[in-house]
Amino acid sequence: MTVQILRRNFLKGLGAVTAANTLPGLSLMNAYAQASGYKALVCVFLYGGNDGNNMVVPVQTAEYNAYATARGSIALPQSSLVQLPQASGTRFGLHANLAPLQQIWTNGDMALVLNTGPLVQPLTRAQYRAGRTSRPENLFSHDDQQEQNQTAIPNNQATTGWGGRLGDRLSVMNAGSPVPMNISVGGNDIYLKGQATPAYSVPTGGSFGLTLTGGNAAQQTARRNAMQALFGLDRQNMQVRSAGDVISSAVNASAALNTVINNNASAAAASFQGLNTALSRQLFTVAKMIEGRAQLGLQREVFFAQAGGFDNHQNQLADQAGRFNEVGPALRAFYNAIVALGVQDQVTLFTLSDFGRTLRVNDSGSDHAWGNHHIVIGGAVQGGQTFGTFPTLALGGPDDTDSDGRWIPTTAVDQYAATLAKWFGVSEADIPAVVPNIARFPTRDLGFMG
């Protein structure tokens, strides 16, 4: 008899359950009053530091020439760029291997959020160069900036992610469901961990959960019932009670999710036909859980998926092209799936990454940097537009930390998160509970969500 506990971390899970039993009300009913209907957020994290400079490239002559001069051997040919028309004219193009996303842009269901990253406060080049107190901790570090993007906490050790804090505000909408609000299909992360909201991790296929082998069905049922009874013993001991609650909830959740994830008649299957990459399998699993939302009794869901391999110090042109050849078709397939399911207005997918990369070429790649560009997809997105400010592509220019093309973000991840949280149903009063430093920025709603 084995139990696959669908928790990202058992010991942290114990703490989450304990917090759930002791934490004050968190104004959950107020949050509930602000939200109605089903909605889902899907975070796709590009691990390693995706080079946004070769994801979103200016196509107009003067800007493209500045880009090509600084990028040198890793500049993309102007003719290869996938045009992104805007009402004011075409300013940007995507990497060729993201061509599957062009139709989503044309449909008005995709936007770009430019030069975004962790910030302590709005920051100019002069302020950056004057001292360290106004900078996030350990800039240009993979681990630190992964955490800062996932937590929106730039200068303190974080214990929760902003996706987890969304769960703390809105999980009341899923009352009665055995399935947690926050689910990862991409392994461990802090993004989904809340103060009172556990983060669960599930596989992208195969049977999972409590396995009872040996004997007939009646004997297996008896063993299951005996195990459930054990969960109720010694409720006076906090650790025993917490352990029992964690295991019991994991067993119940896995039983419900197992059926949905292994749905061989999913209406989303046709959208993923012919795809078998890690990211496409993750997003297909997410699509099936969205499809099973009524069966699972869910009104709100937050998902985490990921793709790796973006730390391209060398051989960047080939390596990033390979990664985008996975990302482009997977994101397009997911979009097609939510359209087929009729929930495109209720589901929003967005990207995050460790950081951007230097504009200056480093051997045959680029180095760790800061501000980056992100993709947002869904029917509620104010699509066919860019939001935020594109950096001046000049080494040592007004947006550069030094002379390598490390862009100082002009949009904070706090603002990015707050915009998504508002659409998700978090009240204005509760936004600071999800994004604690949002008051430091002049605008909390960037306008890319309808």
- The mean per-residue pLDDT over the stretch 426-439 comes to 98
Quote the pLDDT of residue 35: 58
Cβ 434 vs Cβ 426: under 8 Å: yes
Cα dist from 296 to 62, 170, 261, 271, 406, whole Å: 53, 16, 11, 22, 45
Compute the distance between CA of residue 170 and CA of residue 68 in angstroms, rounded to an integer. Answer: 46
Quote the pLDDT of residue 231: 62
pLDDT mean across residues, the chain: 88
Beta-carbon contacts of residue 80 (< 8 Å; ≥ 6 apart): 96
Could you report the per-residue pLDDT of 156-188, keeping only the tens digit for each? 889 999 999 999 999 999 999 999 999 999 998
Quote the pLDDT of residue 22: 31
Could you report the per-residue pLDDT of 50-101, keeping only the tens digit for each? 999 999 999 999 999 999 999 999 999 999 999 999 999 999 999 999 999 9
- The pLDDT confidence band at residue 237, using thresholds 50, 70 and 90, is low
The better pLDDT of the pair 236, 274 is held by: 274
Helices (H), 41-110: 61-71, 102-106
Tell whether the model's pLDDT for residue 302 goes beyond 60: yes
- The pLDDT confidence band at residue 6, using thresholds 50, 70 and 90, is very low
Q: What values do phi and psi take at 96, rounded to 5? A: -55, -35
Where do the DSSP E strands lie in 167-314?
182-184, 199-201, 210-211, 300-307
Tell whether the model's pLDDT for residue 31 goes beyond 50: no
Query: At 384, which amino acid appears?
Result: G
In this structure, the strands spanning 39-46 and 347-353 are: parallel
Quote the pLDDT of residue 109: 98
Cβ 186 vs Cβ 192: under 8 Å: no
- The mean per-residue pLDDT over the stretch 385-398 comes to 98
- The mean per-residue pLDDT over the stretch 227-249 comes to 60
- The pLDDT confidence band at residue 370, using thresholds 50, 70 and 90, is very high
Could you report the per-residue pLDDT of 314-366, keeping only the tens digit for each? 999 999 999 999 999 999 999 999 999 999 999 999 999 999 999 999 999 99
Tell whether the model's pLDDT for residue 190 goes beyond 80: yes
Could you report the per-residue pLDDT of 120-133, keeping only the tens digit for each? 999 999 999 998 78
Tell whether the model's pLDDT for residue 246 goes beyond 70: no
Quote the pLDDT of residue 216: 79
Tell whether the model's pLDDT for residue 240 goes beyond 60: no
Tell whether the model's pLDDT for residue 10 goes beyond 50: no
Tell whether the model's pLDDT for residue 373 goes beyond 90: yes
What is the full DSSP assignment across 225-245? HHHHHHHTS-TTSHHHHHHHH
Look-up of token digits 């008899």: 1
Quote the pLDDT of residue 255: 80
Compute the distance between CA of residue 152 and CA of residue 146 in angstroms, rounded to an integer. Answer: 10
Quote the pLDDT of residue 233: 59
Q: What is the architecture, at CATH level 2, of domain 39-205+268-440?
A: 3-Layer(aba) Sandwich (3.40)
Tell whether the model's pLDDT for residue 20 goes beyond 90: no
Q: Which among 153, 102, 114 has a CA at the least distance from the CA of 387? A: 114
Tell whether the model's pLDDT for residue 146 goes beyond 70: yes
